[in-house]
Amino acid sequence: MSLLDCVDAGDANGVVAALAALGPAERRALLPELKRRRKKLSVAWWEHSGGHKLALLVAGLGCNTAPSAAFSWASGVGSPAGIVVWQNEAVLAVVDQQSPEWQSEVLRRIAERRPTAWLGDEYPAIDRLARATGLPVPVTDGVVLAWQRHHVPPYATEEYRRELLLRLVQAPSTPSLLLGLFGVVGAGDQLGEAWRGAVLGLIEAGVVERDEILDRCLTRLARGGRPGDQRGFQRLLEELAPTPEEIAARIRAYLPLLDSLSPVAALGQAQLAEADAAGLLEPEHLTEASATVFFRSEKKLLRAQLTWLDRSGRRSPDWAAAAVRGATLAFGQSDAELQERALKVAARHLKVAGPALLPELQAATELLGPAQAASAVALFGLDAPAASDAAAPYEELLPLLPQSVPLAEPLDGPVGVAEELAAVLAGDDSVAAFERTLAGLVREAFRDREALRAALKPVLGEEEWAETLSVWSPDHTWIALAAAAAAGQVTEARAHAMLQGQGPLRTEHQERLSAVHATRMHEAAALIVLGRTPFLVATPSYADGGLEAAVLVERLAALEAAEGEVGAADFSQALLRVLPTDDPAVQAAAVQLRSAEGRRLAQWLAQGGLPGQRTERLPAGAGPRACPRVTQPGLAPDQEPLLHPDIRRMLNPMVDGEGRHILAYGDIATPYALAVLPCHREELAVRLGNAIVEAAQYGAKGAQLLPQLVEAGGPAGPGVHLTVACALGAATAEDRTAVVDALLLLAAQDALDADRLGADLAEAVRCGMAPLNRVPLTLRQAAESGAYRTVWSVLRAALPGLLAPEPIRGVPELLAIAADCAARSGATGALPLVEALAARRGSSRLLKEARALHAVLTAG
């Protein structure tokens, strides 16, 4: 059988035999036909058997006599066919037929692949090629991870694991690959018990040096990374069990561990303390370690550091001074209990350290809370702050109000539209880029469809976007539907169907705000095909979606003059975006419009735009996860005829026909969703609040849009406040920063109802929507930005709900933040529940923090 006959028969072994009988020129001559068959396979891969795919892969690999072309062939055919290329014996048999130069180049290219491109167990092929060429096994990330997986496969037997050490000792590549393992991201995930035991065995066998492994392990842990990836190296360091002498010799490598992940920092702290107990460290090392640890927030690490300071301070005056200096670094902690422990450590060693440290102590007491500062004066014999030293009147620091960013000038010609479209399809999901591109597509298609089609061809390529787009496509790619219409991929019949909602984006299967976005794309594509309008009227004036009323009036007047048609969804979106105006000239110009849309716009402007809906709080219901909710009644009957059906649906009541609340979990917070209602943040919060809060809880995309929602126009009612309150429990630092920005923006706008937000926060904490281990991080960040009065006003309203009927676990941290904010902002006036707690007998942190807050509120 010929090689092509073997390919058709799906006989990979026959292909190998046929290749052995062909010379280089004969092999190259077969490439055009093999490429034709590969293209046919890629179009309808499901019609071909696995054997056929493998045979074609092997044939192309052998006929591409250039190693670079052979590697590209294997990457292009093997992966889509579901074949682990470099694990297949037929593939390796073809590789064995090649020259050493060919093999060495393929070895290099395989090794240099990204780790994510490795499939199955491909390390044996690497080892086989290295032995065939006489080259060392390459040490790349992909090779190291493949080597690691090969030697301890997921389902290896216990006997196989016991033989691991013997196999590694015998392999000449082991030393270089093992040392390379410490520099590869993801290697720690695979560094289980068997591998760690093998590393210790290799050290004992003399294959690698203990010092080298210890140094690399410390370097890897100091570099940081994912918890799972770090865990393997952390446990390896534990099992290496370095001696105090080894630790002291590597003091500079150990100190950075204190700034790593919490488990790694705890291990580094424990081993440093062990070296210190052996008398091998210097006082300055203890001070440096304390400076790093006391910048953290983990209570276990902080307490351990104070214990270390207390123990070491007993040796000599120098060590006592280090203990006092280290303890003062803990004065800045928010936990009153930790501050008191630090005070006791400093007081215990101050006498031996000497009075020279008193000025440093005096300065450090400014970081303490009011009660702890008074204790410091008594313990250290410091001077109480004089009345003349009182701070200047408190001044709240709030952000400047953001200014609307005008949309850039319209895109210049078909080429400019094509370039911007390429940027949007590549991932630019900004409203400005999307709207300018959509407007440009409609405008240029009306002016010169053929010129636009030519400009779009390099961007759209051969893909049939009108067929491949679906409800599951990323929403920034939906604009390709309009581009496909301009490129001639949409028929007139399909355009009419899109106007009826029967398009690939399936508006009936979309949630409310997504359906508006999809409807606009369907309509824009249809308008392009039908050639009914020279431009869109809803293109915003500003990047947030706002549209100047004067601009909309001018656009409608121009369309009337050109006898152009206005899209129903386009006009409805324009109405929702138009900024209210009391300019009599603009309103008079609107009255002069003759079209039906012009009359509706004049009526809309005269009424002040879309009236804000009344937001109502719903009962939280029963159960530990019963969360607070809000709803709105929907549009007034006289407003419904003015808007497109899909836009009316978006503004419909937030309860179903039986009065049950609609949570609208399917809606996703995106910049496009916010730009639908740029003047109505309360309506946005009611419809997107759940999505934003869920994103904040789980660190998903969307929570960072909360400041943009707050920036939108309109009143900030129960919906906005409830969304901000629940989002205060955001999971990630990035999302917490966004929530802080939203909170402070509300305060800067003078739109913050602190009593409402505080009550919402207490309810959100009680039901679990805002975890109390996260809320303090967000509020502390907001306070430290200079908004102590704002945070205090929120906490003052939240504390009653958090303390009664019983104090919720975790509330002492909020009491500490409240005491700090109240002291800094000069707040006074006792809170009954706090006063009752302060009067109780006991030494729990809850009672201590309550006493500290009560002392601040009743001082003077």
- Of 258, 188, 248, 245, give the one whose Cα is nearest residue 216: 188
Mean pLDDT for 6-32 is: 89
- Of 635, 642, 690, 637, give the one whose Cα is nearest residue 662: 690
- Of 739, 737, 730, give the one whose Cα is nearest residue 709: 739
Task: Give 119-168 pLDDT, tens digit per residue.
Answer: 778 899 899 999 999 999 999 999 999 999 888 876 667 787 778 888 99
- Of the two residues 359 and 456, the one the predictor is more confident about is 456
pLDDT at 117 over 80: no
Mean pLDDT for 36-41 is: 76
- Of the two residues 82 and 183, the one the predictor is more confident about is 183
pLDDT at 242 over 90: yes
860 by DSSP, 3-state: which? coil
Task: Kindly write down the DSSP assignment for every residue of 546-603, as one continuous string.
Answer: -B-HHHHHHHHHHHHHHTPPPPHHHHHHHHHHBPP---HHHHHHHHT--SHHHHHHHH
Q: What pLDDT is recorded for position 81? A: 42
Least confident of 43-52, 130-139, 319-328, 787-796: 43-52
Asked if 342 and 331 count as a contact pair (C-beta separation under 8 A), the reply is yes
pLDDT at 82 over 80: no
Task: Give 732-763 pLDDT, tens digit per residue.
Answer: 999 999 999 999 999 999 999 999 999 999 99
Q: What pLDDT is recorded for position 163? A: 85
The pTM of this model reads 0.74
Task: Give 564-598 pLDDT, tens digit per residue.
Answer: 999 999 999 999 999 999 999 999 999 999 999 99
- Of the two residues 77 and 368, the one the predictor is more confident about is 368
pLDDT at 834 over 50: yes
Least confident of 331-345, 498-512, 526-540, 695-709: 498-512
- Measured CA to CA, the distance from residue 824 to residue 564 in angstroms comes to 63
Percent of the chain with pLDDT over 90: 64
Mean pLDDT for 542-551 is: 96
- Of the two residues 601 and 48, the one the predictor is more confident about is 601
- Of the two residues 7 and 434, the one the predictor is more confident about is 434
Question: What's the mean per-residue pLDDT of the chain?
Answer: 89
Mean pLDDT for 287-293 is: 96
Mean pLDDT for 45-65 is: 77
Residue 535 is classified by DSSP as S
Tell me the one-letter amino acid at 133. Answer: T
Task: Give 681-692 pLDDT, tens digit per residue.
Answer: 999 999 999 889
pLDDT at 65 over 90: no
- Of the two residues 693 and 156, the one the predictor is more confident about is 693
Task: Record the tokens describing residue 93, joined without a space.
Answer: 């048999």
pLDDT at 622 over 50: no
pLDDT at 623 over 60: no
Q: What pLDDT is recorded for position 155? A: 67
Q: What pLDDT is recorded for position 80? A: 41
- Measured CA to CA, the distance from residue 477 to residue 499 in angstroms comes to 20
Q: What pLDDT is recorded for position 387? A: 45
Mean pLDDT for 157-186 is: 90
Q: Which residues contact 280 (CB under 8 A, 6 or more apart)?
A: 244, 245, 247, 248
Task: Give 375-430 pLDDT, tens digit per residue.
Answer: 888 778 776 655 434 457 889 999 999 999 999 999 989 999 999 999 999 999 89
Q: What is the three-state SS of 79-114?
A: CCCCCCHHHCHHHHHHHHCCCHHHHHHHHHHHHCCC
- Of 464, 462, 454, give the one whose Cα is nearest residue 418: 454
Asked if 332 and 294 count as a contact pair (C-beta separation under 8 A), the reply is yes
- Measured CA to CA, the distance from residue 212 to residue 36 in angstroms comes to 54
